[in-house]
Amino acid sequence: MSKIWYKDYDLDEVNGIFGKYMTGYLDIKATEIQEGMLIASMPVHDKVKQPFGILHGGASVVLAESVGSIASNMVINQAHFSAVGMEINANHIKSISEGIVYAYCSPLHLGLKSHVWDIKIKDKNGKLICISRLTVAIIEKK
Report yes or no: 68 and 138 within 8 Å, Cβ to Cβ: no
Cα gap 84→105, rounded to integer Å: 16
d(CA 93, CA 27): 22
pLDDT digits (tens, 9 = 90+) for 12-36: 999 999 999 999 999 999 999 999 9
Residues classed as catalytic: 65
Residue of 58, 61, 70 whose CA lies nearest to 11 = 70
Return the CATH superfamily for domain 11-140.
Answer: Hotdog Thioesterase (3.10.129.10)
Say how far apart CA 108 and CA 122 lie, in whole Å: 19
pLDDT in tens, 42-100: 999 999 999 999 999 999 999 999 999 999 999 999 999 999 999 999 999 999 999 99
Strand partners, 136: 85, 115
Helix (H, G, I), strand (E, B) or coil at 9: coil
CA-closest candidate to residue 117, choices 56, 81, 77, 65 = 65
Phi/psi at 23 (5° precision) = -65, -35
pLDDT (tens digit per residue) in 105-141: 999 999 999 999 999 999 999 999 999 999 999 999 9
Q: Rounded CA gap, 67 and 27, in Å? A: 13
